[in-house]
Amino acid sequence: MAPLLESRQTTEHYVDETNRVLLDDTLGGVIGRGLPVDQLPGLEPCGPRRKIFFDPSKTRAAIVTCGGLCPGLNTVLRELVVGLHELYGVRDVFGVAAGYRGFYGADEDHVRLDPVAVDEWHKKGGTVLKTTRGGFDLNKIVDGIVARGYTQVRASSGIL
C-alpha cells in the first residue's frame, strides 16, 4: 500500500480539481457497475481549492454557530478562521455571537476574528461564539448580512 500512497499526485494544501471520491468502496462494486471510470458515480472531494471564485481582498466572511453543541466545535471554528486567513488571504472574518439572532443583534455580536484571536479556542469546551436554538427570522438575518457587507457565511451546527 505504501508505494501506492507515495505515488499519488497531490499538492501541499489544495485538492486536485479533477479528482473524485467514488461511491463504491470495493473493486467488486466498481466492476459490478460495468461503467467506464469517467461514468462511475462519485462526489467532489472536499478541501481547499487552488482556484477560487471570490476576491479575498473584498471578502467579508461571517461564521456562526447554531443549534446544539458537539465536541470539537471550537476547533472547527479555529480552523475555519486560520484556513480563510492562511490559505486564502481573507482578512475580514467575523464571528457572529448567539446563533442566527446575532445577525440582527447589536454590533458587539459581531467579533473580528484572526489566527491570533482564535489561537487557544481548541482548548475550550462549548462554543466561544455562543449558540442558540430558534431565532430564525430569515428576513432579519438577510438584512443583517447585507447591512454588514458579508459576502461569505458559514453556519456550523452542533449535533446532540
Per residue in 135-160, pLDDT tens?
Answer: 678 999 999 999 999 999 988 765 43
- Render pLDDT for 59-108 as a digit per residue (tens, 0 to 9): 999 999 887 777 788 998 999 999 899 888 999 999 999 888 899 988 88
Domains and CATH numbers, the chain: 2-43 (no CATH), 56-158 (3.40.50.450)
Q: Chain-wide mean pLDDT for the chain?
A: 84
Quick one: pLDDT at residue 20? 85
**Across the chain, where does the E strand assignment appear?**
21-22, 42-43, 60-67, 92-96, 110-113, 152-158
Q: For residues 128 and 102, what is the distance between their CA atoms, to the nearest angstrom?
A: 13
99 torsion bin: left (phi>0), alpha (psi -120 to 50), beta (else)? left
- Render pLDDT for 15-74 as a digit per residue (tens, 0 to 9): 888 888 888 888 898 889 899 888 888 888 877 777 777 888 899 999 998 877 777 889
Say if residue 35 is exposed, middle or buried (CB neighbours under 10 Å; 0-12, 13-18, 19+). exposed
